[in-house]
Chains A and B, each alone.
Chain A
Amino acid sequence: MNGESEDSTGLHLAAVSTLHLGPVDWQIKRGECVSLSGPSGSGKSLLLRAIADLDPHGGEVRLDGVACETMAGHLWRRRVGLLPAEPFWWSERVGDHFITDVAETLDMLGLNPAALEWNTTRCSTGERQRLALARLLQSYPEVILLDEPTAALDQRSVAQVEALIEGYRLRHNAAVVWVSHDAEQCKRVASRHFTLCDGQLEACC
């Protein structure tokens, strides 16, 4: 019994598929970070969207043994957080997107606390990417799916983001999927590495 319950913790994908993807079987333990790479159009973003249950898909996704379908969509997405490659904003003022105090997170990301008063349309791509990460983490997701979270960042910011994610992962025992084109970054942040090719997932060493 004990062995079984330990086995079921973390994120489990069984034959997850969409029109251009899969079937994908995948297991990511809690507290683990895995990297995912692959050519553009290979379905990386589609896979993340399917895990966050944003697109209709076949197969089953479970978190700690609980199937996605057993809870409302919005509750699932609070637990399984997705950071899209291009984040969008529903209000002009940055601060409107935050319901909790995120001063500490912003500081760790090298952002001025005054950023909350900024206008989302005037932020740089890099600022928006880091603000979106802070926005995502405020609801304390147990799984975080990062779609090229440092694509638009300079080296210093990249290091800050990596440190923040690692701290969050350890503190909250979160499972992390990190999509990156940078092989060096994959090695730095993740303990296991995967590639997606034509919608098929392959483990690599």
Chain B
Amino acid sequence: MNFISLTPLDLGIASTLVILLSLLSYRFALGISRQLIFAALRTTVQLLLIGLVLKLLFANVHLGWVVLISMIMLLAAGRIVMERQERRFIGWWGYGVGTLSMFLSSFAVTLITLIVIIQPEPWYQPQFSIPLLGMMLGNTMNGVALGLERLTTSVYQQRRIIEARLIQGQTWCEAIEAIRRDAMRVGMVPMLNAMAAAGVVSLPGMMTGQILAGAEPMEAVKYQILIMFLIASGTGFGTMGAVHVAARRLFDERERLRLDRIT
């Protein structure tokens, strides 16, 4: 297979496009021209760093290193989920709800994939485990963030209605059921859309990358189908888990609505 290596000059040429875009957005006073340059620099630095890390990791295959990198990825994803919340839980819950549910769903799905489906030797082979986990976390993060955001903002807006239900003697579950269902659905819609568009509207990034790197298209497609299934289930379980736990946390043991628990 023919693999064409990119030179720094190639990337430099591509970067001029971003600089052009930044100039144009400055011209139209969009107020994001500096952010664009900064984001481009940031993505370059972060990717170069992870490239170095992966290179080191591949050279020193050890479970401890894999676990360490996984944890850093998880904690970073948890932080992003928290930062995206307009109304977040007070205290450790603000960080914990999203992080814990992402941990459970992403790690469980990745482990099953490694041990039962791909079966590399050893099972934690970083060439497989780290990219897989990265894709799981990246997508689960979106679902969890969307779901939690919808849950807390809806509950805040509809707090009087929820209380009306409680006053009428409904259980906390009945009182929040409709909102909870809606929040779970919102978190899972992007994943549904991605599956529907795959191959028709968009060529998924992972598959594109494999093909660009010279892989046989059908092999790339098989991997992409696997990834789609994993992402769908990981995102789904993670979102449902996070929204479920968060919804419970909005009520106390006396089934009172406790908005003082979110900002």
Contact = CB atoms under 8 A, between A and B. Distances in A.
B67 to A, nearest CB: 41
Most buried by B among A74, A77, A135: A74
Interface string B169-193: 1111000001000000000000000
Contacts of B163: 54, 84, 88
Interface stretch (B15-23, B45-53, B237-245, B249-257): B249-257
B161 A74 contact: no
B169 A55 contact: no
A87 interface: yes
Contact of A73 (B164, B178, B255): B255
A78 interface: yes
A152 to B, nearest CB: 17
Contacts of B255: 72-74
A43 to B, nearest CB: 18
A77 B169 contact: yes
A69 B253 CA distance: 10
Given A74-B169, A74-B172, A139-B169, A88 B256 contact: no
B166 A77 contact: yes
Which of A52, A55, A77, A89 has the most chain B CB atoms inside 10 A of its CB? A77
A52 B167 contact: yes
A77 B166 CA distance: 7
Contacts of A175: none
B87 interface: no
A81 interface: yes
Contacts of A77: 166-169
Nearest to A79: B169
Question: How many residues of A sit at the interface, in one of the four size bands?
Answer: 20 to 34
Secondary structure at the A interface, as helix, strand, loop or mixed, is: loop
Contacts of A55: 256
Given A88-B161, A88-B163, A89-B161, A135 B254 contact: no
A56 B261 CA distance: 13
A52 B169 CA distance: 10
A204 interface: no
Contacts of B84: none
A135 B169 CA distance: 11
A53 interface: yes
Interface string B148-167: 00000000000011011111
Contact of A54 (B167, B170, B178): B167
A52 B170 CA distance: 13
A46 B165 CA distance: 18
A136 interface: yes
Contact of A78 (B169, B172, B257, B258): B169
A100 to B, nearest CB: 12
A110 to B, nearest CB: 23
Interface in A33-83: 52-56, 69, 72-75, 77-78, 81-82
Given A74-B172, A77-B166, 14 more contacts: A53-B256, A54-B256, A54-B257, A73-B256, A74-B255, A75-B169, A77-B169, A81-B167, A82-B167, A84-B163, A84-B167, A87-B164, A88-B163, A139-B168
* Nearest 10 Cβ contacts at the A-B interface: A73-B255, A78-B169, A88-B164, A73-B254, A88-B160, A74-B171, A77-B169, A88-B161, A90-B161, A82-B167
5 contacts: A84-B163, A88-B160, A88-B161, A89-B164, A90-B164
